[in-house]
Amino acid sequence: DTADSLQGLNSYKGEAVCQAICNMALRLTDLGEYELGMLVVDHAKERFPNSSSWQLSEQVLYFTRALYKGQWQTAQSAVRQLATLNKWEALLREGELMLAKGDTAEALASITTVLDVGPSLCPSVRVRALLLAAKGSQAAAVS
C-alpha cells in the first residue's frame, strides 16, 4: 500500500487488485472486445509483473479470440500455455476447442478427466465441465 500525497488517497497493490483488473479483461473478452481486453491485461501485467492472474487472463483471451476465428493451432497453443497455469482450465478449454472442431470423442475425454476428480473439484469447474459434457453428448447424438 502506498499513499498518494497529491490526492490524499491510498493506493492498494495487492493480488486482489490484480484479480479485479483481470476480471474486467475477461469480461471484455466475453463481449468480444479483444483489443480492449488486451489493453486491460497489459495494464495488469505492468502493475503486477509477477502475478499469474494476468497470465491466465491473457491466455484465456488468446484462446477465445482464436476459437471464434477458427484458428485451431493458435487456440491449442493457448491451451498448452494455460496448462502451465491451471490444469482444470486448460482441460475445459481443450474440451471446448475439440467440440468446436467437431472432435466429440476427444472433447469428452478431456471433460471426463475433469469430472473424474469427484467432489473435491471446485463446484464452478464441475458445472462448466457438466455443461460441456452435455453439449458434447448432444453433438454425438446428432452425428
The dihedral region occupied by 3, where left means phi > 0, alpha psi between -120 and 50, and beta the remainder, is beta
Residue 102 neighbours by CB distance under 10 Å = 10
CA-based nearest residue to 56, from 31, 88, 32: 88
Q: pLDDT tens digits, residue range 100-130?
A: 999 999 999 999 999 999 889 999 999 999 9
* Segments of the chain with pLDDT less than 70: 1-12, 139-143
Kindly list the domain boundaries of the chain, sorted by start residue. Answer: 1-71, 86-143
**Burial call 23-35: b when 16+ CB within 10 Å, e when fewer:** ebbbebbeeeebe
For residues 135 and 121, what is the distance between their CA atoms, to the nearest angstrom? 20
Q: Which residue has the cell 498518494?
A: 4
State the pLDDT at residue 1: 46
Residue 9 three-state SS: strand
Residue 100 neighbours by CB distance under 10 Å = 14
